[in-house]
Structure 1
Amino acid sequence: MEITLTIDNKPVKFKSSGAVPKRYKMQFGRDFFKDLIGMGIVDKDYNNLEENEQLKAIEKIDFDMFYDIAWTLAKTADKTIDDPLTWLDSFDTFPIVDIVAELQEILAATISTKKN
Structure 2
Amino acid sequence: MEKTIVIDEKSVLLKSTAGTAIRYKAQFRRDMFADILSLGVLSSYISTDEDQNNIDLSQVDLSKLDFEVIYNLVWAFAKTANKEVQDPLTWLDTFGEFPIAEIITEIQDLIKSTVQSKK
Please name the residue that 2:118 is paired with.
114
**Where in structure 2 are there 5+ consecutive unaligned residues?**
none
Please name the residue that 1:56 is paired with.
59
- TM-score normalised to the size of structure 2? 0.84
Equivalenced residues, count: 115
More deviation in 44-53 or 97-106? 44-53
Determine what percentage of the aligned residue pairs are the same residue.
40
Look up the equivalent residue of 1:57 and give its one-letter code: V
**Where in structure 1 are there 5+ consecutive unaligned residues?**
none
Alignment of 1:1-116 (within 5 A): 1-40=1-40, 43-44=43-44, 46-47=46-47, 54-57=57-60, 59=62, 60-115=64-119
Displacement of 1:96 in angstroms is 1.6
RMSD between aligned residues: 2.6
Displacement of 1:42 in angstroms is 7.6
Displacement of 1:92 in angstroms is 1.0
